[in-house]
Amino acid sequence: MSTAARPESFTRTARRAQIVGCAIEVIAEVGYPQASIRKIADRVGIAMSAVLYHFGSKDNLVDAIVEHMYRSMLAIVVPAVDAESTAAGKLDAYIRSTIGYFRTHRVALVALTSTATSFQPGDGRRVEELGLSDELAEQLARLDPLAILQAGQRAGEFGEFPAESMAIALRGAVNAVVEKILRDPGYDARGYGEDLVEIFGRAVGGSR
Amino acid sequence: MSTAARPESFTRTARRAQIVGCAIEVIAEVGYPQASIRKIADRVGIAMSAVLYHFGSKDNLVDAIVEHMYRSMLAIVVPAVDAESTAAGKLDAYIRSTIGYFRTHRVALVALTSTATSFQPGDGRRVEELGLSDELAEQLARLDPLAILQAGQRAGEFGEFPAESMAIALRGAVNAVVEKILRDPGYDARGYGEDLVEIFGRAVGGSR
Amino acid sequence: MSTAARPESFTRTARRAQIVGCAIEVIAEVGYPQASIRKIADRVGIAMSAVLYHFGSKDNLVDAIVEHMYRSMLAIVVPAVDAESTAAGKLDAYIRSTIGYFRTHRVALVALTSTATSFQPGDGRRVEELGLSDELAEQLARLDPLAILQAGQRAGEFGEFPAESMAIALRGAVNAVVEKILRDPGYDARGYGEDLVEIFGRAVGGSR
Amino acid sequence: MSTAARPESFTRTARRAQIVGCAIEVIAEVGYPQASIRKIADRVGIAMSAVLYHFGSKDNLVDAIVEHMYRSMLAIVVPAVDAESTAAGKLDAYIRSTIGYFRTHRVALVALTSTATSFQPGDGRRVEELGLSDELAEQLARLDPLAILQAGQRAGEFGEFPAESMAIALRGAVNAVVEKILRDPGYDARGYGEDLVEIFGRAVGGSR
DNA sequence: GATGAATGAGTGTTCATTCAT
DNA sequence: CATGAATGAACACTCATTCAT
């Protein structure tokens, strides 16, 4: 009677996932401000009030969406970085896996971008704090390349450079591909990734 | 006859500029989706319908806003780049003046960011094409560092590297400071600019 | 057969009483219009649909609430009046016991007031007719002081006065304390009751 | 061009008055909770959004309604009371004019009753404080018979009695006629008023 | 005996736009 | 040159009710 996973939970979870998925699609297509609950419900094929039944409010739905997108990104990048043992390996893995995620998740990307810059929550919270449980926030910190750069410098693997600025530049350079991908779906993002590996591999100097 | 060539009286021009200025402020404060014509008109101190009298529609107002912001950026970056004669000088000038513009135009920056990602025009046009006369588009092309990089390579000033990828990475690294500035108004953007000059100066290799 | 005469199991009756009690609390706290079935169910700790399972509709629930409150009032006032043998005694008992009920049932009072003036049943019935079985209506008639006044006049206990108007005035004066109690929980309602006994004792004139 | 009464003001004021009037009718008919802005607008014959254009929110509309009703009551009762010079005269005038107002303003009465007990404003304000400018609140204080009773006692016109309780009882007795009127439109409220004049005339004792 | 899922009607409110003046 | 009035469409959200389980 009280097994860990109650059967009711499945229906609930599936519907929520379905709604989140459709919401991401709709946001990607028409932009967050135009992505009304009604349009999202229409895409799922249920009544608008059913969406609110499951999430209570649009803010909560956005929470779920943001969490979903962060988790899907984490699921790709973190294992890739962890699989490497050297700082240089981790750096390359960070660049390749992040851009890989961007390549394979165009829709989610558009949605996240639009949501992040348009969303204004009812309470005073920032977008970055939405739907971020402590556990999730902790994992997200691992996506910051600054840690990798500093570890590489401490280990003597990398040369000398302003680590913080380098991290910001790196993130900017990596994220810049999003805009390119969105504008030109045929863009060779993988090639850009390899170029970045080369460029930043040299910039951090180091072993060789 | 009277529509095509309007006398462009002084009052008219002044009012339009005043409205655009207030609109930028309002968008920066509450975000584009919440920036209604009424709020903008309230800030100017005129009736809501007066705004539409001057611009015809909200889309046209957005056109004017985007154009205004691009022009103000051009007015700073283009002369700075043109003042230099070498490719290396132009590259440094591009980085420093762009980041300089970001530092001194926080409000416009917030507004542009919010507008760009939230705005969905009535017709099918993209945001990037809004309010861009041919003459303006031509000038904007000069903001792309790709031209500088290629010129430097042709002149033998720079070494060998994938110019297109380098340009994208550079733009991404430069633009990354916006996010930083917006989140932390006290951030040392100028220092970051100098770091970028160093990092990318090395990356393009060359003269040294 | 099974609808008309339900077994009225203990569980059933207890649950209904529990729901009515919670509904009264919720109505008193947030007002009838804001007292949704969901909020009532939340307070009981059961599902919203369980409330409807027990009462069929919100109108029926209101029926039960009104009946409950009338019965609790009858249980106090009727015995007190019946315990007196003279008209003067009954009059005093009516005043004192009614105000006594008001003093000790503030929450029920707020709820009844809010419900009575806000509720608009689906069918055309008036609020006063809700949940009033014939048997209950008959008993409620005994709460009208008019009968006491007329009996007193017939018995020569009271002097001459327009009995109907005096009854209305008396009910109004007694009920007026509700407003006072609700606004100022510390109000000395008992003292007001004694003053009323004095005032109306004189007004009906009579024996002395 | 700048005469005291601008012509625009007239249209505005007339529309607002029209809306308030219709709102009172609708509230009286279906009760405050069911009196939606849409129903009110339908009765006026304008779009729902036009109501909000004039009042901004439902709360503001309620403000205007309550103020309107209080003012119409003041306009009748205050002059009547002021016209008398003795406390006894003022007391009689208070009773007669208040009941007179009730007789001639049945609809407004139902509306006020329903609104007062159902309305829960967005902010924390009480119903009694809605739409009450200081000036209005000051005038409303003059509707409390307590002042008349106390003045009469000080002047030696009235005998001895608990003035506060007598005032509450008097208000209750006067207000009780509302319920009677609403239930039975043919009820002789004027006769009830005369009875009250007699009953309370004796109760305050005094001169004769 | 009770529940979770879902619904459709209805709520107050915001908005860009039109139009007579 | 500018305004106030008005509108209709859209929005997020609440609610009592239904129904299969």
Determine the pLDDT at residue A121. Answer: 67
Determine the pLDDT at residue D1. Answer: 41
SS3 D130: coil
- Our measurement of CA C179 to C1' F3, in angstroms, reads 48
Cβ-Cβ contacts under 8 Å for A83 (sequence gap 6 or more): A93
| Chain A meets chain B (3+ C-beta pairs below 8 A) | yes
Contacts of B202 in chain A (CB under 8 A): 202-203
**Tens of pLDDT, residues A51-81:** 999 999 999 999 899 889 888 888 999 999 9
Determine the Cα–Cα distance for residues B147 and B143; give it in Å rounded to an integer: 9
Determine the Cα–Cα distance for residues A99 and A178; give it in Å rounded to an integer: 8
Cβ-Cβ contacts under 8 Å for B46 (sequence gap 6 or more): B19
Tell me the longest C-alpha to C-alpha distance in chain C: 62
CA angle, residues A180, A181, A186, in degrees to nearest 5? 110
Is the CB of B172 less than 8 angstroms away from the CB of A168? no
**Domain annotation covers residue C39:** no
Q: What is the mean pLDDT of residues B61-76?
A: 89
Q: Exposed, middle or buried by CB within 10 Å (0-12, 13-18, 19+), for B121?
A: middle
Residue nearest to nucleotide E10 (CA to C1'): D36
Q: Which nt sits closest to B52, CA to C1'?
A: E17
- Our measurement of CA A55 to C1' F11, in angstroms, reads 17
Determine the pLDDT at residue B130. Answer: 61
Kindly indicate the confidence band of residue D6, based on its pLDDT and cuts at 50, 70 and 90.
Answer: very low
- Our measurement of CA A50 to C1' F21, in angstroms, reads 19
How many CA atoms lie less than 13 Å away from C16 in the CB half-sphere?
18
**Does residue D193 surpass a pLDDT of 90?**
yes
**Tens of pLDDT, residues B118-147:** 776 666 555 555 666 777 778 887 778 999
**Domain annotation covers residue A109:** yes
Determine the pLDDT at residue B67. Answer: 87
Contacts of B110 in chain A (CB under 8 A): none
**Tens of pLDDT, residues C19-43:** 999 999 999 888 888 899 999 999 9
Determine the Cα–Cα distance for residues D60 and D52; give it in Å rounded to an integer: 9
**Does residue C177 surpass a pLDDT of 80?**
yes
pLDDT higher for B140 or A154?
Answer: A154
> Which of these, C131, C125, C161, lies nearest to C146 by C-alpha position?
C161
Q: Which of A117, A168, A195 sits opposite B117 (nearest CB)?
A: A117
**Domain annotation covers residue C12:** no
Residue with tokens 């655009």: B20
Is the CB of C165 less than 8 angstroms away from the CB of D32? no
Q: Which nt sits closest to C11, CA to C1'?
A: E1
Determine the pLDDT at residue C130. Answer: 61
Q: Per mean pLDDT, which range of A46-60, B61-75, D40-54 is the poorest?
A: B61-75
Is the CB of D172 less than 8 angstroms away from the CB of C168? no
- Residue of C110, C125, C144, C165 for testing the chain D interface, max D β-carbons within 10 Å: C165
Helices (H) and strands (E) in chain C, counts: 10, 0
Query: What does B149-203 look like in DSSP terms, one character per residue?
Result: HHHHHHTTSS----HHHHHHHHHHHHHHHHHHHHH-TT--HHHHHHHHHHHHHHH
**Does residue A173 surpass a pLDDT of 60?**
yes
**Does residue B41 surpass a pLDDT of 90?**
yes
Determine the pLDDT at residue B1. Answer: 41
Determine the Cα–Cα distance for residues B56 and B51; give it in Å rounded to an integer: 8
Residue nearest to nucleotide F19 (CA to C1'): C49
The Cα of D195 is separated from the nearest Cα of chain C by a number of Å equal to: 7
Q: What is the mean pLDDT of residues A73-93?
A: 93
Kindly indicate the confidence band of residue C8, based on its pLDDT and cuts at 50, 70 and 90.
Answer: low
**Count of domains for chain A:** 1
Determine the Cα–Cα distance for residues D110 and C127; give it in Å rounded to an integer: 14
CB-CB neighbours of C54 under 10 Å:
17
- According to DSSP, residue B129 is labeled G
**Domain annotation covers residue A37:** no
pLDDT higher for D11 or A187?
Answer: A187
Determine the pLDDT at residue D182. Answer: 81
Query: What does chain A look like in DSSP terms, one character per residue?
Result: ---SS-HHHHHHHHHHHHHHHHHHHHHHHH-GGG--HHHHHHHHTS-HHHHHHHHSSHHHHHHHHHHHHHHHHHHHHHHHHHT--SHHHHHHHHHHHHHHHHHH-HHHHHHHHHHHHH---SSS--GGGTT--HHHHHHHHTT-HHHHHHHHHHTTSS----HHHHHHHHHHHHHHHHHHHHH-TT--HHHHHHHHHHHHHHHT----
Q: CB–CB of D157/D86 below 8 Å?
A: yes
The pair of three-digit structure tokens given for residue C31, joined into one six-digit string: 């007002």
**Domain annotation covers residue B15:** no
Kindly indicate the confidence band of residue C206, based on its pLDDT and cuts at 50, 70 and 90.
Answer: low
Mean pLDDT score across all residues of chain D: 86
Cα-based distances in Å from B132 to B64, B76, B119, B140, B141: 9, 18, 15, 9, 12
Kindly state whether D159 is in contact with chain C, defined as any CB-CB distance less than 8 angstroms: no
pLDDT higher for A56 or D5?
Answer: A56
pLDDT higher for D117 or B208?
Answer: D117
Q: What sign for the dihedral angle of Cα D115, D120, D121, D126?
A: positive
Determine the pLDDT at residue D114. Answer: 79
**Does residue D3 surpass a pLDDT of 60?**
no
Q: Per mean pLDDT, which range of C114-118, C126-130, D100-104 is the poorest?
A: C126-130
Mean pLDDT score across all residues of chain A: 86
> Which of these, C180, C60, C169, C65, lies nearest to C114 by C-alpha position?
C65
Determine the pLDDT at residue C13. Answer: 86
Q: Which of B33, B117, B196 sits opposite A169 (nearest CB)?
A: B196
Q: b/e per residue, D78-108, with b = 16+ CB within 10 A? A: bebbeeeeebbebbbbbbbbbbbbbbebeeb
Cα-based distances in Å from D155 to D74, D87, D94, D169: 26, 8, 18, 22
In the chain, the amino acid numbered C111 is A
Determine the pLDDT at residue A197. Answer: 97
CB-CB neighbours of A185 under 10 Å:
8
**Tens of pLDDT, residues C57-113:** 999 998 899 889 888 888 999 999 999 999 999 999 999 999 999 999 888 888 888
CA angle, residues C126, C132, C136, in degrees to nearest 5? 145
Determine the Cα–Cα distance for residues D119 and D168; give it in Å rounded to an integer: 24
**Does residue D106 surpass a pLDDT of 50?**
yes
Residue of chain B minimizing CA distance to A162: B195
> Which of these, C11, C67, C13, C16, lies nearest to C44 by C-alpha position?
C16
CB-CB neighbours of D197 under 10 Å:
18
Q: Any idea how long chain B is?
A: 208
CA R_g for chain B = 19
Tell me the longest C-alpha to C-alpha distance in chain D: 63
CA R_g for chain D = 20
The enclosing domain of C74 has a CATH number of 1.10.357.10
Determine the pLDDT at residue D80. Answer: 94
The Cα of A95 is separated from the nearest Cα of chain B by a number of Å equal to: 12
Q: Residue D171's domain spans which residues?
A: 7-203
Q: What sign for the dihedral angle of Cα B197, B151, B179, A138?
A: negative
Determine the Cα–Cα distance for residues C67 and C74; give it in Å rounded to an integer: 10
**Tens of pLDDT, residues A100-149:** 999 988 888 888 878 877 776 666 555 555 666 778 878 877 778 999 99
CB proximity D36–strand F (7 Å threshold):
no
Contacts of D32 in chain C (CB under 8 A): 33, 118
Q: CB–CB of D180/D187 below 8 Å?
A: yes
The Cα of B1 is separated from the nearest Cα of chain A by a number of Å equal to: 37
Determine the pLDDT at residue A8. Answer: 55
> Which of these, A15, A18, A58, lies nearest to A38 by C-alpha position?
A58
Cβ-Cβ contacts under 8 Å for A80 (sequence gap 6 or more): A93, A94, A96, A97
**Domain annotation covers residue A20:** no
> Phi and psi for C25 in degrees, rounded to 5?
-60, -50
Q: Which of C30, C168, C191 sits opposite D180 (nearest CB)?
A: C168
**Domain annotation covers residue B13:** no
Determine the pLDDT at residue D196. Answer: 97
Is the CB of C177 less than 8 angstroms away from the CB of D162? no
Q: CB–CB of C70/C24 below 8 Å?
A: no
Determine the Cα–Cα distance for residues D67 and D125; give it in Å rounded to an integer: 15
Kindly state whether D117 is in contact with chain C, defined as any CB-CB distance less than 8 angstroms: yes
Cβ-Cβ contacts under 8 Å for B43 (sequence gap 6 or more): B22, B25, B26
Determine the pLDDT at residue D7. Answer: 44
- Our measurement of CA A64 to C1' E2, in angstroms, reads 30
**Domain annotation covers residue D67:** yes
Is the CB of B177 less than 8 angstroms away from the CB of A191? no
Q: Exposed, middle or buried by CB within 10 Å (0-12, 13-18, 19+), for C10?
A: exposed
